[in-house]
Structure 1
C-alpha cells in the first residue's frame, strides 16, 4: 500500500468536529476525575450519547446489518477524540473488538450492538496480544465454566462474548459474576469475570480467526486513541509554557524546553503516521494490516507515555496536583502501554513476521 493517503478526509474532519463538540460539552475532566472516587454516573449517559445519538456504536457494522458501514479510518478518528478526553466509554471494547468478532455472525446481537441497544465485551484479559494465548473456558452441554481476569468493558457490558472450544458464545452479563477491580486507569476499569456453568448461546462456530483478527484491529485502533492522548498532552503543555513566566520571560522560551517540545512534536507526528497507516490497512483489507498494527503499537504506546510524562513534568507543581487533568492522561497512557500486547510483545511478533531472529 505504498500509495496510501494518510491525510484526513473532509468526512473525517466533520466526524471529528461532531465528536469533539459532544465530548467538550459532556466530558469535563472534573467529572472524569470523579471516577477515582467511585462516581461512575458519567459513563452510561456519555456512552448512550455517543452510541445512539451519534450512531458511533455501529460505525464498523455493515449497513445491511443496521450499522453505518464505515471503515477503520472513521473509527480511528473517533478514538483519537476519545483519547483527547480520556473518555470513560466502551467504544474500543464493544464497538470495535466485540463488534468485529461478531461481524460475520447471524442473529440479532450485531444489530443490537450497532444501535446502541446493547454493549458487549470479549472475555480476554486487556493485556492479551494479537495471536497470544486465549483464556481457557470450558464448555459442556452448552454451559460455560471458568474465570477470566482483567477484562476491560465488562462492567459496562450487557453481553459477554466467551471464547471456548474454538467457538464464541454469548452470555448475559447479569448471569455471570462480574467483580470490578481497582485499576490504575479507572476510566477503563477492569473486572474479573466468573462463569459457573452458565448457559451460553453459540454465536460464532469457528471463531479463533475472528477473535485474533479483532484483537489485531483493536491493537491497531488503540494506537489512534494513544495518538489523541499524546497530542492533547503536547498541545496543552505548549499552551501552558507560553503563559507561564519565570525570571520575567515565558518558560517556553528557554532553549532546553524548546528542544524537549520539538522532540515530542516530532514523536507525535510520527505516531500519527503509524496509527493512520495501521487504520488505513485495516480499512483496505490489506495483508499488511498485521504488520502495521504491531508497528503502530511498538512505537505509539511508548510515545504516549512519554507525552504524558512530559506534560506532568513541564507543568511543574500544578502538573502533580489531583485538580489538574494531567494525571488522567498519564494513567491512561500507562494502562494502554500494556493493553493488547506490550511494545516488546509487538516487536517480537514483528521479528517473526519479517523473518528476524527473536532475541533469546
Structure 2
C-alpha cells in the first residue's frame, strides 16, 4: 500500500512495513543473498520506493509527504528489526538538509528524485573530520568511511571559509571516486570516497537546523537498534523454549531465565528512552538534543549487549554462519560507531547538563 499524506496512520504504516520487510528482507534473506551473490538491497530499494517511503520526510511541494519524526521512527525501527540492507537515514538526512536550503533550484533538482527513489545518497559515517574547501570552493581529500558505495551524491561535512557546513557532492564527475570496502556487517553498503578538485553544493544550516539534523541522525540509529534488539531477543527466547537439555527446555533453567529477564528489562528501558526522544523531537521540545544523544548511545549499547549474549544463549548454533545471530551482532557493533561513538554522545550530554545548570 502506497503512503499518502491525506490518509496516513502510524499503526497501518508499522503493519505494512513489517509485512513487506518480512517478505523481501529479513536475516535469512540477507544471508542467502550474500551466499548466492544476489542483490537483495536492489530488490528492497524498489519496494521501498514503490511504497513511497523515500517521500516521507520531503515537503509536499517537491513530491513528498512532509511526515515527522514519529513516522520515520517506525520505518527505522522496522528496518532494524529485519536487518534491512537499505540505509534509510542517508536519503532522509540528505532530504532534510536540502529542504532547509534557500536554493530552490537545488531542491527542484534533488528532492523529487529522492522522493521517487531515483537518487541514491551516500553519507559520511562520522561528522568529526570535515573535508576542507580551498579558496576556489573545491574539495580534495578523502572520507575513509561512507555508507553507500554506489551513490549519485555524497553528503559530507565540509569546512569552508572557517565555517563547518554540509556539502552535497555529485559523483557524476571524474573528480569523485567511490570504493566499496566490505566490512563485517553484511547489511550495510560500506565504502570510501576520495575527491580530487571536486565541486560541491554548499548546504549552510542554521544552528537550529544543524541541531535538528544531528538529532535525526541519532534517533535513526537508536530506532534501528531498538528494532534489532527486540527481534534478536524474541528469536532467542523462542529458541530457549524449544531447545532441550536433560529432557527439559533450556528456558526452564533459572540462570538462563534470569539472563533473558535482564535483557527484557534493558529492552523496555531502551524503548521508553527512544520513544521519549522521538516525541520530544516531534514536539520541538527544548531538551531534545540531550535526550536524542542519550537515546543513541543507550540504544546502540543495549543492542550490542543483547545481540552478544544471544549468541551465547543459542549455544553452538549461535556461532554458525547459517544462523541469524551474527547478522544482528555485527549490525549492532556498527551502529555503536556510526555518527559518533557512545563516549562522544555522553560528553555532549554532560556539557549540556553543565550549561543548563550554569544558566540557573
Pairwise TM-score range, normalised by the shorter structure: 0.7 to 0.9
Q: Where in structure 2 are the equivalents of 1:39-58 lying within 5 Å?
A: 39=37, 41-50=39-48, 52-58=49-55
The answer to whether residue 255 in structure 2 is matched with residue 256 in structure 1 is yes
The offset of 1:204, in angstroms, is 2.4
The answer (yes or no) to whether the contact 2:297–2:336 under 8 Å persists in 1 is no
2-structure distance, mates of 1:38, 1:198: 37
Q: CA 1:328–1:226 in 2, change beyond 3 Å: closer, same or farther? A: same
Partner of 2:67: 70
The offset of 1:170, in angstroms, is 2.9
The answer to whether residue 107 in structure 2 is matched with residue 111 in structure 1 is no
Paired residues in the alignment total 338
Query: What's the TM-score, normalizing by structure 2?
Result: 0.87
Q: Which runs of 5+ in 1 are unaligned?
A: 1-9
SS in 2 for 1:148: strand
Between stretches 175-184 and 162-171, larger displacement belongs to 162-171
1:26-61 CA-to-partner distances (Å, cap 9, x unmatched) read 1143331256559361112211211x2111112111
Partner of 2:224: 225
The answer to whether residue 264 in structure 2 is matched with residue 268 in structure 1 is no
2-structure distance, mates of 1:77, 1:349: 26
Partner of 1:195: 195
Which residue among 160, 173, 179 is the counterpart of 2:154? 160
Query: What's the TM-score, normalizing by structure 1?
Result: 0.87
Partner of 1:149: 144
The offset of 1:208, in angstroms, is 6.9
Q: CA 1:188–1:349 in 2, change beyond 3 Å: closer, same or farther? A: same
1:58-105 CA-to-partner distances (Å, cap 9, x unmatched) read 21112223211111111111111111111110201222x222211222
The answer (yes or no) to whether the contact 2:131–2:139 under 8 Å persists in 1 is no
Partner of 2:310: 311
1-structure distance, mates of 2:126, 2:259: 31
The offset of 1:142, in angstroms, is 4.2
Q: CA RMSD in A?
A: 2.2
Which residue among 57, 61, 66 is the counterpart of 2:58? 61
Q: CA 1:205–1:305 in 2, change beyond 3 Å: closer, same or farther? A: closer
The offset of 1:140, in angstroms, is 4.2
Q: CA 1:255–1:162 in 2, change beyond 3 Å: closer, same or farther? A: closer
Q: CA 1:241–1:162 in 2, change beyond 3 Å: closer, same or farther? A: closer
1-structure distance, mates of 2:241, 2:33: 31
Partner of 2:133: 138
The answer (yes or no) to whether the contact 2:222–2:297 under 8 Å persists in 1 is no
Q: CA 1:93–1:264 in 2, change beyond 3 Å: closer, same or farther? A: same
1:103-161 CA-to-partner distances (Å, cap 9, x unmatched) read 22223212221221212133x3x244xxxx341232443432221111112x1421223
Partner of 1:6: none
